Amino acid sequence: MRFTTVLTLILLVSGCTDDVEPVKNSYAFEMPANFPAPVYTFGNNPVSRAGAELGQMLFYDPVLSLDSSIACANCHQQAVAFSDPVHRFSRGVDDAVGFRNAPAIQNMAFQNNFFWDGGVKHLDFVPINAVTSKIEMAETLDQVVQKLKRSKFYPEKFRSAFQEDQITSQQMLYALSQFMNLMVSANSKYDQYVRKETDLTKEETEGLEIFEAHCRTCHATDLFTDDSFRNNGLDAGFEKDAGRERITEFSGDRGKFKVPSLRNVDLTSPYMHDGRFNTLQQVLDHYSNMVKDSETLDPLLKQGESLGIVLSAEEKVKLIAFLKTLSDETFTHDKRFANPFIK
Ligand code: HEC
Ligand code: HEC
């Protein structure tokens, strides 16, 4: 509560003077040294404090949905790295049931493909999908803009973020992107280890070694994804969800899904595009014992006749210990990303 009050004061003060810094973090885009270069088009839409704060309000405001019942934050909750801890399949307006698990939102500026099937290629377009989807917010961009124009506070917020008189849907998308671009998660124990600020335990170190040997090809770089689409053997048939093939209409993409980042993975259950696993143990049991063969199964998971990755019970314990070092409490507690309407 005390923190929120401090933040509120800062927000109020910053209305008159520009150079008051927030308690701890700045509003400049952060570029962690151990990350690959960002791909977001910052030239068109640089992060500003007014823009990111506007995006923060929009993200937490159910006004973006048809009946003002659902905000982005309903399905993307900060405490769990902006994933959905409750629903295997996400729930939208009127309790409509989606068909995929809501992924974490973090390090979006570094990502080329959005959604499990890469159906969206640019961060700015993601909210169009969320707002207009019948199973999410079921609203139109025009209606949202009309509602924002009628609001007591949004016109002023938009003016200070974009220095224009009229609220447009593009400004709304830009503000949401600025907010999401600011969401960089790079202060986990693992990052501190990479920066030589801390040591890993023996168990975690051995877990990291197992990870490097068996998982790193796909969960690559310190983003823990190679941004590709692969079939990791969850199913033998893909009638329920063809994954990447839905977008490319190429049968060679059947059953392939985006390799998800594993940052904050201890927090982001349930796992996989359909949220089928609740624990990391189940995920590892999948890789060791349950990988299913199909035309598009990734070659890395098929050595001759044998499927999957050989992992002993002890190795799984070590792997899980390592995966837990990817949790970043700085990120999940960062006031810049918290609900601005809760005072
Ligand atoms: C009803 C739940 C729901 C709501 C509301 C919702 N999302 Fe999502 N979000 C999802 C699901 C489910 C996916 C994955 C969709 C897919 O893969 O087909 C997703 C995907 C995303 C992604 C892509 C992440 C990635 O790594 O690919 C971003 C970014 C995102 N949402 C942002 C938003 C924003 C911004 C809003 C508000 C304008 C929003 N979401 C509202 C459920 C929701
Ligand atoms: C061949 C590439 C590949 C390899 C190797 C691989 N993964 Fe994955 N991983 C994926 C893909 C693709 C998904 C998403 C699949 C889906 O949802 O349909 C995934 C999903 C996951 C998830 C769920 C994350 C979430 O947010 O839902 C975890 C955890 C995970 N992998 C851990 C591991 C570990 C640990 C290893 C090594 C033992 C490993 N993976 C090896 C490709 C791979």
Place of tokens 């671009």: 181
- In this structure, of 97-101, 152-156, 301-305, 310-314, the range with the lowest mean pLDDT score is 97-101
- Averaged pLDDT, 102-113: 97
Q: At what angle do helices 49-60 and 169-182 cross, to 10 degrees?
A: 100
Model confidence at 24, pLDDT cuts 50, 70, 90, reads very low
Report how far ligand 1's centroid is from the alpha carbon of 9 (Å): 31
58: its two tokens: 């929009």
Please state the φ and ψ torsions of residue 97, each to the nearest 5 degrees.
-95, 125
Report the distance separating Cα 74 and Cα 315, nearest Å.
Answer: 36
**pLDDT tens for each residue of 35-91:** 999 999 999 999 999 999 999 999 999 999 999 989 999 999 999 999 998 888 877
Nearest CA owner, ligand 1 atom 36? 72
Distance CA 160, CA 51 (A): 8
> What number of other Cβ atoms are within 10 A of residue 239's Cβ?
6
% of the chain beyond a pLDDT of 90 = 83
Q: Which of 221, 232, 279, when mutated, tests ligand 2's pocket best, judged by the most ligand atoms within 8 Å of its CB?
A: 232
DSSP state of 45: S
Domain with CATH 1.10.760.10 in the chain: 28-184+333-337, 189-324
What does the pLDDT read at residue 25?
61
**Closest to 246 in 3D by CA, of 116, 143, 127, 340:** 116
Which pLDDT score is estimated for 327?
Answer: 98
Q: H/E element holding 230?
A: strand 229-230
Instruction: For residue 110, give the nearest of 15, 17, 35, 167 by alpha carbon.
Output: 35
Mean pLDDT for the stretch of residues 308-325:
98
Q: Ligand 1 within 6 A of 131 CB?
A: yes
Q: Please give the pLDDT value at position 50.
A: 97
**Residue 96: what pLDDT?**
77
Q: pLDDT, tens digit, for every residue of 235-290?
A: 999 999 999 999 999 999 999 999 999 999 999 999 999 999 999 999 999 999 99
What are 152-175's pLDDT values in tens digits?
999 999 999 999 999 999 999 999
| 82 in Cβ contact with 108 (< 8 Å) | no
Nearest Cα residue to atom 43 of ligand 1:
75
* Residue 334 CA to ligand 2 centre (angstroms): 27
pTM of the model: 0.92
Residue 4 has pLDDT above 70, yes or no: no
Find out whether the beta carbon of 115 lies less than 6 Å from any atom of ligand 1: yes
Instruction: With CA atoms as reference, report the closest residue to 80 among 268, 339, 292.
Output: 268
- Residue among 5, 233, 4, 275 at smallest CA distance from 116: 275
At 197, the amino acid letter reads E
In the 8-state DSSP scheme, what is residue 249?
Answer: -
Ligand 2: residues with CB < 6 A are: 214-215, 217-219, 230, 232, 234, 257, 259-260, 262, 265, 268, 271-273, 280, 283, 287, 298, 300-301, 309, 319
Atom 40 of ligand 2, nearest CA residue: 215
> Does CATH place domain 28-184+333-337 in 1.20.1600.10?
no
CATH number corresponding to 189-324: 1.10.760.10
Burial category of 163 from C-beta neighbours within 10 Å (exposed 0-12, middle 13-18, buried 19 and up) = exposed
Q: And the tokens for 268?
A: 């982001």
Rounded CA Rg of the chain: 21
Of all protein residues, the one whose alpha carbon is nearest to atom 10 of ligand 2 is 259
Half-sphere exposure of 135 (CA within 13 A, CB side): 9
212 Cβ partners below 8 Å, 6+ apart?
none
Cα of 259 from ligand 2 centre, angstroms: 6
Contact indicator for 23, 6 with CB cutoff of 8 Å: yes
Confidence of residue 2 (pLDDT cuts 50, 70, 90): very low
